[in-house]
Structure formats: structure tokens, C-alpha cells
A and B are shown apart, each in its own frame.
Chain A
Amino acid sequence: MIRIHLNDGEIPENYSKYIGRKITFIIAGIVLLFILLIISISVGAVGIPPLEVAQTLLGAGVSTQWDTIIWNIRFPQAISAIIAGAGLAVAGVAMQSILRNPLGSPFTLGISHAAAFGAAFAVIVLGTGTMHSSGADAVVIDNPYITTIIAFIFAMIATGVILIISRIRGASPEVMVLAGVAIGSLFTAGTMFLQYFADDTQLAAVVFWSFGDVARAHGTELILMGVATIICSIYFVMNMWNYNAIDAGDETAKGLGVNVQRVRLVGMVIASFLSAIIISFLGVIGFVGLVCPHMARRIVGDDHRFLIPATLVFGGVLLLASDTAARLILAPHILPVAILTAFLGAPVFIYLLIVGYRR
């Protein structure tokens, strides 16, 4: 019901242009992602011309050998990088918005540490990791499913503890982040404890697992990660107005009809769930969840109508580009992408902080 009769306005032209610019950025990001996908698949030990890659992806492949390389190795790895990048980034942006804290991410909240502890527990206590005789692929996680499930369970335990603490002390941003720091330290100590008593093989397997690598996921794992990322992203998009309202302060949000406590708790569970699934399949991949949302914020601003899609796209672009670089940088050796994201992530984040504060 219109009460104040503020309906004598017009849609300002400069606002339409301003919105148009944000949409253009996101579309440009999607185009860049497709170009990167082709490049990522075309480069490697066996070079495949980009045009052939495009033809193969469109179902008009010309070489059986290339078909095999593309469909069995490079395409799943590239898609895994896109899904993991998008998923970790969108979980990060949701956590940052929900906690109203720029340092919110699966790492700040101790979820990654808990997953790493779970993997260490599976390898050392349950004996899911062994070492072959020699070579680059010497360390093998014998039972990746049990390792993954245990990692996931511990990630969700960490989330549960954070939520219980926030239930007792209120879901304020400070409480959640401090709880996350405490839990992260606890699980790191637990991992160190297990590692101290592990033998060489187990220690190697734990360290191997902790190098997050997008090449690990195939078939079912990819589908599971993809479905989780899509469903969770839809939930975040549906709550974009709530996150915008919470950004304006808890009281303003409550005044706008937002059930702040509920939005915060459900959002945290969903973001943690998504992070836990990705981390438990691929291992710990640092900084994507922290840096991508900040990059997206700098370009499209804090409005979640654009920030969430932009973060999804930038997350995919960043991890795919990093993974491609990680495969090439020390060729013929292939670096796990997590090493590169950790190297790149920290300076980029510090740069963003410095530039951000100057703004």
C-alpha cells in the first residue's frame, strides 16, 4: 500500500548507466572465463591448438588422442578449478557479509584447519594413506573417500562449535571470528600432535593431502561439488537483499524486517558446508575465499546483487588461471595449485588492504 505517495519520481539515467557498467563487468568476466578455459585446456605437456580445443568441447573433435587428453584429464581439472574457485569465493563473500568482517573466510573460521585435521586423523589413525616405492606420485591416499568423509565431518564439527558458541554468546561478528581463531588453533595443534607420532609414510600422505590440488576430483566428486556450489549460490543470491541490509548494520537490517540472527546462522551453516565439501575433496586451497570477494568488491562495490555473481566469476577465473600457471611454471613438474594461491594470495591481500585503506 502506498502511503507516502513518493511515486512522482523518474528512474535516473545515470543510475541505469551505473548498473549497466556492473553488469558489463560480470559479462566480461564470464567471457574471460571461457577464454581461460580454452587456454587452460590447450596448454600442458602436449600442446593442443585452442581452435581444436573449442571444436572438441563443441563435440566436433578431430583427434582421438586429443579427445582423450581433453575429456579425461584437462577438462575435468579445469572444471574442478572453476567450481572450487567459485564455491570457495562465494562461501568467502557470504561469510564476510554475514560476519560483517573483511577477514571472514573458511580459513579465518578454522574450517580448513578442521578439515586438514580430519584428513590427518584418517591417514594416521585410520591408516588411509600409503607410500609407493618411488617417483613423483609416490604418496597415495589409499582410501580417498574415507579421508574426504572424515575431513568433511571435522569441518562440520568446527562449524557446529562456532554456531554453539555464537548461540550462547550471540552471533556477533567478533564472537564468530574469535571462535574461529580459537578453533583453528586447536585443530592445528591436533594436526601437529598427530604428525609428531606419525611414521614417514603417514606424514608424507598427510602433507600430500594438505596441498590442495584441483586435479583430484573426477566424475562423481565434480558433480557433487558442482551441485553443492550451484545450490548454495542460489541460496546466497536469494538472500542478497538481506546481506545488503546486514551491511547497513544489524539495527537497520532488523528495522527492514530481516531476521538477522537466523540469516546469520543459516548463512554460516551453508557457507561452511560448501567450503567443507570443496576442501575435503581437493585439500586446503588458501586465500581464494579471502581474496576473490575483495577483488570483486573493488570492482562492483558492496551491493550483493552484483557482488555475489561477480565473486562467483572471479573465483572461477582466479583459480583456473592459477591452476594453469601452476601446471606450466615448473614444467614438466606440476605444482599443486594451493602452493601458488598461497604465494599469490598473501601479497595480493596485503595490496588490497593498503589500497583499500587509502580509499
Chain B
Amino acid sequence: MILSINGIEFNYRSRDVLNDISFDVLPNEVLTILGPNGVGKTTLLKCINRIHHPRAGSILIEEEDIMKMDLLEVAKRVGYVPQNCEKGRLTAYDAILLGRRPHITWNTSDNDLKIVNAAIKRLQMDDLSMRYIDEMSGGELQKVSVARALVQEPKLMLLDEPTSSLDLKNQQEILRIIREVVKVHSVSAVMTMHDINTALRFSDKFVLLKEGKIYAAGGHEVITPESIRDVYGVDVHVETFNNSPFVIPV
């Protein structure tokens, strides 16, 4: 088990955001959290990454409680790609190198640079690597963020809307790379996403959140017209194409 979440509860001051959230993520698995805006998807990712502290419940990574780990230890195991990334006057190469921060004590080693270069090659970012990130488009910056999380060499990757500012080609490319990394290297990924069809194509498991609670969790079978109507309040048809379901709003 890479990630095991048991009975997480979280509130912002007086407002309950997450209630009794429990699910597991196995090695080589991509899990996507679905749900309408404001339901607590991002908050849940931040709890898993210890950016937020849940009021109750436990989060185990490789059977170890993350609340008992120091922050650097968490960062060595969990790579986080936030929705928004700041633009400093750094080259993409240096911005990605920052992902080695949990492993660096004083200065970078040749090995760190090699890992960064390999990630750049894997994400086909050779042309971008020496460009400054404050001159990049949102999509290019998103790729930099994903590469930065990759070079952390985490066991679990958390991606908050990883394709939100990407065009169709880059969306497919980033998700293909994430899936490839997950499948080849005993890593797991937890994503949040608004596009249900993209999620269906690239994910193994789903958690549907409604009003801060888990409405349904499981494989493709949890995506049904009823579940989508209950969670999003939208009527849809669910068709099958190439053995994979896809959702069409009515």
C-alpha cells in the first residue's frame, strides 16, 4: 500500500470541509478525485502533503504516519504539483532543480543535475530548459511543475488540476508521461480533475466527493449517470468507446 487514508476530517475555522474520508492507493495506480468546485479536492491533497493538518484521522505513506515525519521526509516521498506556480527570474532548468531540494544538504551533485536532465528529456522539454520561467506560457510552466515533482523521486505524486492550463496535445502528453512513470516505477499518483473524460482515460480509480464526504469510490464502474447527477447535478449519458466509458452531457 502506498497511501492509506483513514477517517480524515478537516475544517476551515467553523466550516467543515472534509468528513470521514478513507481510501487506499496501491502501487502503480492513478487515482483521480472528482467533484464540483469547493467540495474539498484541493484541501484533501494538501492534507496528504501535510500542508494542512487534519482535525482527525490518519494518513499513512508506505505504512508510516506522515504526521510523525519531518517535512523533508514527507517531501522525499510525496511530490506535489500545485494548481498555480509563481514565476521568478529562473531558468526552467533551475526551477526543476529545485525539486532536488529535499535531497540536497548544501550544493547540488552531478547526480542531481543528471536526474534533472533526464526529467527534461522525458518531458521533452529540451527546448525549454534554458528559458526563463517568467517568459513562459501557463502550459509550459505546468510542465516545469510536473518535472519538478518528478525529480523529487517521490513514491506518491499529488497533482492538483495538472492539465488545467494545457492545450489538448499537452494535456494528453503530460498525463501519458505521468501514467508511464506510475506504471514503470512503482509510483502512485493522486490527481484532482474537472474533465471526467480525461480522468476516465488516464486513471485506474476514482473518488467522487460530495459535500465533503466520499459519495463513491472504485474503478470505472462508479462513473454512472446517477452518480454524476448526484455529485454534479448534471444529467449525462455514459457511453463506451474502445472499452473505456465516456461521459456526454445531455
> Residues of A contacting B99 with CB < 8 Å?
256
- Stretch binding the partner chain, chosen from B9-17, B152-160, B211-219, B228-236: B152-160
| Chain A minimum-CB-distance residue to B113 | A11
Within 8 A of B (CB), among A225-251: 241, 244-245, 247-249, 251
> Residues of A contacting B201 with CB < 8 Å?
none
A211 to B: closest C-beta gap in Å: 35
- In the complex, the answer to whether B90 meets A303 with C-beta atoms within 8 Å is yes
Q: Are A258 and B115 CB-contacts (below 8 A) given A248-B95, A303-B90? A: no
- Which one of B71, B94, B111, B132 contacts A259 once the chains associate, using CB atoms below 8 Å? B71
Within 8 A of A (CB), among B145-169: 145, 148-155, 158
Within 8 A of A (CB), among B106-125: 107, 110-111, 113-122
| Chain A minimum-CB-distance residue to B151 | A6
- Flag B27-50 by CB within 8 Å of A: 1 or 0 each: 000000000000000000010011
- Stretch binding the partner chain, chosen from B179-187, B192-200, B241-249: B179-187
Q: How many residues from B make CB contacts under 8 Å with A?
A: 61
> Residues of B contacting A216 with CB < 8 Å?
none
B121 to A: closest C-beta gap in Å: 6
Within 8 A of A (CB), among B126-159: 129-130, 132, 134, 145, 148-155, 158
- In the complex, the answer to whether A247 meets B90 with C-beta atoms within 8 Å is yes
Q: Is A358 an interface residue (CB 8 A)?
A: no
Q: Are A4 and B187 CB-contacts (below 8 A) given A11-B114, A241-B104? A: yes
Q: Are A248 and B151 CB-contacts (below 8 A) given A3-B186, A4-B187? A: no
Within 8 A of B (CB), among A261-311: 297, 301-303, 305
B41 to A: closest C-beta gap in Å: 14
Q: Are A302 and B88 CB-contacts (below 8 A) given A8-B118, A9-B116, A11-B117? A: yes
Q: Is B18 an interface residue (CB 8 A)?
A: no
> Residues of A contacting B119 with CB < 8 Å?
6, 9
- In the complex, the answer to whether B114 meets A247 with C-beta atoms within 8 Å is no
Q: How far is the CA of A11 from the CA of B73 in the complex (A)?
A: 27
- Which one of B72, B111, B129 contacts A7 once the chains associate, using CB atoms below 8 Å? B111
- Stretch binding the partner chain, chosen from A12-20, A78-86, A134-142, A334-342: A12-20
| Chain B minimum-CB-distance residue to A257 | B75
Q: Is B206 an interface residue (CB 8 A)?
A: no
- In the complex, the answer to whether A256 meets B115 with C-beta atoms within 8 Å is no
- In the complex, the answer to whether A251 meets B98 with C-beta atoms within 8 Å is no
Q: How many residues from A make CB contacts under 8 Å with B?
A: 36
Q: How far is the CA of A210 from the CA of B187 in the complex (A)?
A: 61
> Residues of B contacting A303 with CB < 8 Å?
90, 94
| Chain A minimum-CB-distance residue to B72 | A257
- In the complex, the answer to whether B90 meets A15 with C-beta atoms within 8 Å is no
Within 8 A of B (CB), among A1-47: 1-12, 14-15, 18
Q: Is A167 an interface residue (CB 8 A)?
A: no
Within 8 A of A (CB), among B61-109: 70-76, 78-80, 82, 84-86, 88-91, 93-95, 98-99, 101-102, 104, 107
Q: How far is the CA of A12 from the CA of B120 in the complex (A)?
A: 11
> Residues of B contacting A254 with CB < 8 Å?
49-51, 71, 80
| Chain B minimum-CB-distance residue to A249 | B86
Q: Are A12 and B122 CB-contacts (below 8 A) given A248-B85, A258-B71? A: no
Q: How far is the CA of A307 from the CA of B235 in the complex (A)?
A: 55
| Chain A minimum-CB-distance residue to B81 | A255
Q: How far is the CA of A359 from the CA of B70 in the complex (A)?
A: 40
Q: How far is the CA of A258 from the CA of B132 in the complex (A)?
A: 23
B128 to A: closest C-beta gap in Å: 12
- In the complex, the answer to whether B115 meets A252 with C-beta atoms within 8 Å is no
Sample of 4 more A-B contacts, CB < 8 Å, known A6-B114, A7-B118: A12-B93, A12-B117, A241-B101, A301-B132
A-B contact pairs, 22 of them (CB 8 A): A1-B153, A3-B155, A4-B150, A4-B153, A4-B154, A6-B122, A7-B115, A9-B118, A9-B119, A18-B91, A18-B130, A244-B98, A245-B101, A248-B88, A248-B148, A251-B51, A252-B85, A255-B158, A256-B101, A257-B71, A257-B72, A301-B132
